[in-house]
Structure formats: C-alpha cells, structure tokens
C-alpha cells in the first residue's frame, strides 16, 4: 500500500529515487509478475503523473476483460492508460529515469513529490502539489461535518 508524501531530487540525467517504502510495497506485491520497477502515465485530471506497480496494470487489465470488446469506454481507457504509460525499471539504487515528455507534462524540474494514495500514487511538481493540497484540504474542512454523519469510520 502506498502511503505518505515524499519529495526527492530529479538529477541532471532525469533520474529520481522512488521512496523506499514505495519500493518495498511494490516488491511485496509483485510476486505475481517479477517486473522490478513502476508504471506511470499522465493523469486525465491535471498536469501530474499517476503510477503504481505492474500489478496495478494487471488488475486494470482484468477489469477491462469484463467489458465488451466494442465498448467505447474500454478503448478509451486502453488508450488513456496502457498506451500512454511507461514502464520504468529501478536501477541499483532504487531510482527510475523519467522520460522527457513526462517532465514536460508534469512541469518537473529539480524536485518531484511522490504522493501515496493506497493502490496507486501520484508524481507532482512540489509547488503545484502544495497548491492542490491546500485547496483539497480546505474542501475537506468545509465538508467534514458531512463525513461524520454519513459514515462510521470508513473515510476514504
């Protein structure tokens, strides 16, 4: 499970260390398929990247298999995620190198922020993430009374 938020350096070669906690999450989970690395793709929700272990893609594959072949949703998702994604292998130090087009998409330079979100994670420009975080937390505060009454402990 991907938890916590970590900011690491993006070096001149385009490499960045994946947080050690994320790496161990991936290696624990990847007994099924032994790709030692991550998969990332550009988000549909904004200028940041989304990612996870290869098993995330396999789960996704399985859910696509349930849809009809001609289902437009199915091909939309295949293009948006499978076709737009990249597999990035870890080097000996647990780093991956982010492709240049991904740099541009997510406005990455110097530092990148990994945001753990359970099954998957996000990769942000730290400054943009801070703005996003502020606005989302504001929203959460405003609506927290709704959360209290509407469920008993299962806040997501």
Residues that bind a second copy (CB under 8 A): 1-5, 21, 39, 43-45, 50, 54, 56-61, 63-64, 72-73, 75-87, 115-120, 133, 136-137, 139-141, 143-144, 146-147, 150-152, 154-156
Buried b (16+ CB within 10 A) or exposed e, 90-124: beeebbbebeeebbebbebeeebbbbbeeebbbbb
60 binds, among a second copy, DNA, none (CB under 5 to 8 A by kind): a second copy
C-alpha pair distances (Å), 136 with each of 50, 141, 144 = 18, 9, 12
Residue 30, CA atoms < 13 Å, CB-side half-sphere: 17
> How does strand 37-42 pair with strand 5-9?
unpaired
Q: What residues have CB less than 8 Å from 98, skipping those under 6 apart?
A: 10, 14, 15, 16, 40, 88, 108, 112, 123
CB of 82 vs a second copy, minimal distance in Å: 5
Nearer to a second copy, 91 or 118 (CB): 118
Assess 5 for contact with DNA (CB under 7 A).
no
Nearer to DNA, 34 or 153 (CB): 34
**Contact region for DNA (CB under 7 A) — 12-20, 61-69, 71-79, 117-125?**
12-20
CB of 70 vs a second copy, minimal distance in Å: 9
Assess 89 for contact with DNA (CB under 7 A).
yes
Assess 52 for contact with DNA (CB under 7 A).
no
> How does strand 111-116 pair with strand 121-124?
antiparallel
Q: Which residues bind to DNA, rule: CB under 7 A?
A: 6, 8-9, 11-20, 23-24, 89, 91-95, 97, 99
């Amino acid at each position: 499970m991907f938890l916590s938020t970590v900011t690491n350096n993006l070096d001149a070669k385009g490499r960045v260390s994946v947080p050690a906690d994320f790496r161990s999450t991936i290696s624990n989970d990847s007994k099924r398929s032994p790709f030692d690395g991550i998969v990332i793709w550009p988000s549909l929700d904004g200028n940041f990247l989304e990612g996870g272990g290869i098993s995330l893609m396999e789960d996704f594959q399985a859910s696509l298999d349930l849809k009809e072949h001609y289902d437009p949703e199915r091909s939309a998702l295949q293009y948006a995620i499978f076709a737009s994604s990249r597999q990035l292998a870890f080097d000996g130090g647990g780093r991956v190198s982010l492709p240049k087009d991904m740099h541009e998409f997510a406005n990455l330079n110097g530092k990148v922020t990994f945001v753990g979100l359970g099954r998957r994670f996000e990769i942000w420009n730290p400054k943009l993430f801070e703005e996003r975080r502020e606005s989302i937390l504001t929203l959460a505060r405003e609506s927290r009374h709704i959360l209290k009454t509407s469920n008993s402990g299962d806040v997501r």
